[in-house]
Amino acid sequence: MKRMKAKTDRLSVTRTQHRLLPDPQRVILRPYLPGEETFVDGRSRVRLVLDRVLALPEEEIPAAWEAVRAAFSSRHPDFESVLADHFLLVSRRFERTEPLSRERERLVGAYFTHEYSIEGASLCNPSLVPALDQSGLPVGVLRFIMSLRAIGEGHLSSIEFRSGVIESDGKIVFDPTSRFVSSGRRAPNPSYDKEVFALKLKDLGVQNELSQAVLDPLPARFSFEELLSAVASVQDLHTPPATRSETLNTIHWLATSNYEIVFSPNSPICERVIFPASPNESRGMEDARFVRFVEEDGSARYYATYTAYDGHQILPQLIETEDFVEFRVLTLNGTRAHNKGMALFPRRIRGRFAMLSRHDNENIHFMTSDDIHFWDHASPLQTPSRPWELTQVGNCGSPIETEAGWLVLTHGVGPMRQYAIGAMLLDREDPRRVIGQLAEPLLEPERNERDGYVPNVVYTCGAIVHDGQLILPYGFSDTGVGIATTPLDELLSRLESCSPG
């Protein structure tokens, strides 16, 4: 593979010729409910459209349905099952004495469905992790999974994936990318840990007689349906209206913000997209930082921190998976679980979870916790000090453990809001101690990377080390994704020779 040397006298950084660019043909099926304005006769727009479809003569239905099926079914393997779901979504709005034909049900579903191009605007901000299954590979070959931030219409972000291998000679080979995409199925009745749920309610400022009455009859692990039943059972409890509204709304918000998504295990990972599905991420899921986390007993799973956006405020959230087929999406709580850029260490430090954060919006902090859901304590690690980072600094993914220490990729924002990628090295035993910090950026936007949806940006959400090389995927100007490599020994040597600050 032809490689291009970066023009720098700092470190030997090599850009490969890989370019992952947005593909507007990758579309998912989403519910489409027209504006809910009410007309003179009292009907909503949804009801008007529904009545028109229901009024079509039965003899016209087969041809109308066949036209829709012929135009769209080849674009979605699960086309008819999704339309069936969307029919059920609107079917509660009307009553019928006689059942509808299957074709009319599918046609109704089609009128309340639209295609959404998940990459219509941008593809950027990758993170890279080793796949759990490394079986059947030649010696020296590593199978990987890459997460990506896909941005579509309305700047709505979702999380999607690619896969491939890094060969023994360092060559990076991606698996073919399917044009099909699926947003999976949300588990209809997710479960919750009662103790954690109660602590999260307390952190949200909802700890009162009503919330206690809801939780008391629930088992140690309860389902969403059990929670709804518990809420219904306290309807007669006399509580001030304002307190009642806030408490029950918060309970429902918390429950719907912690959910599970399941994909077909037979689908290629590139066809799976985690699309916003809860109130606090209704306007996007941004910049997932995936990490393979190894527990003290040797068991491994994957976590990802990401930024949830509801159009008004941003919140850090957590994704958990063991196989990239079933995903649990969880809220993070605590006085330091705020803002963007939380990144989990790949193992416990002295028996505790450890995290990097930028909860104050401009500095990197080190945090520890006994519970991965709650973060209350932080100590500063890095503040903006170099010309290329004086606006703000932040991490660029989870720390990478090396013999020399924890390698942390960082980002800095400088003049003209240009983003560059830097690096620092933390002590392995005490990550609060900074050993070294690059004086100059490791990676800056090159001339052909400066123009895009958001100009003058290079950014990553996580790299890996393989065979002595740092493999660094990065987004450029919110347009596409490239890959850079640098010898690990050279980078660590430079970091050890550079004083922090």
Tell me which residue has tokens 């309860």.
222
pLDDT tens digits, 151-182: 999 999 999 999 999 999 899 999 999 999 99
Tell me which residue has tokens 């969403």.
224
* Chain mean pLDDT for the chain: 92
161-186 burial, b at 16+ Cβ within 10 Å, e below that, comes to bbbbbbbeebebeeeebeebbbbbee
What is residue 105's DSSP assignment?
A: H
**CA dist 363 → 77, 277, 306, 372, 381 (Å):** 46, 30, 18, 21, 8
Residue 42 confidence (pLDDT)? 57
Residues 46, 51, 55: CA angle, nearest 5 degrees: 155
Written in H, E and C, the secondary structure of 385-407 is CCHHHCCEEEECCCCEEECCEEE
pLDDT tens digits, 31-63: 998 875 555 555 688 888 998 999 999 999 999
- 84-89: Cβ within 8 A, 24+ apart: 84/109, 85/109, 86/29, 86/31, 86/112, 86/113, 87/112, 89/31
pTM: 0.93
Q: What's the token pair of residue 406?
A: 């924890």
**CA dist 395 → 36, 58, 102, 247, 257 (Å):** 42, 60, 52, 36, 25
Residue 3 confidence (pLDDT)? 44
Q: Output the CATH code of domain 4-25+118-185+259-497.
A: 2.115.10.20
Segments of the chain scoring below 70 in pLDDT:
1-9, 36-43, 501
Class of residue 438 by CB neighbours under 10 A (exposed 0-12, middle 13-18, buried 19+): buried
Query: Where exactly are the structural domains of the chain?
Result: 4-25+118-185+259-497, 27-117, 191-257
Q: Are 12 and 481 in contact (CB under 8 A)?
A: no
d(CA 331, CA 440): 36
Cα dihedral 37, 42, 46, 48 sign: negative
Helices 194-203 and 241-257: crossing angle in degrees, nearest 10, is 130
Q: Are 297 and 350 in contact (CB under 8 A)?
A: no
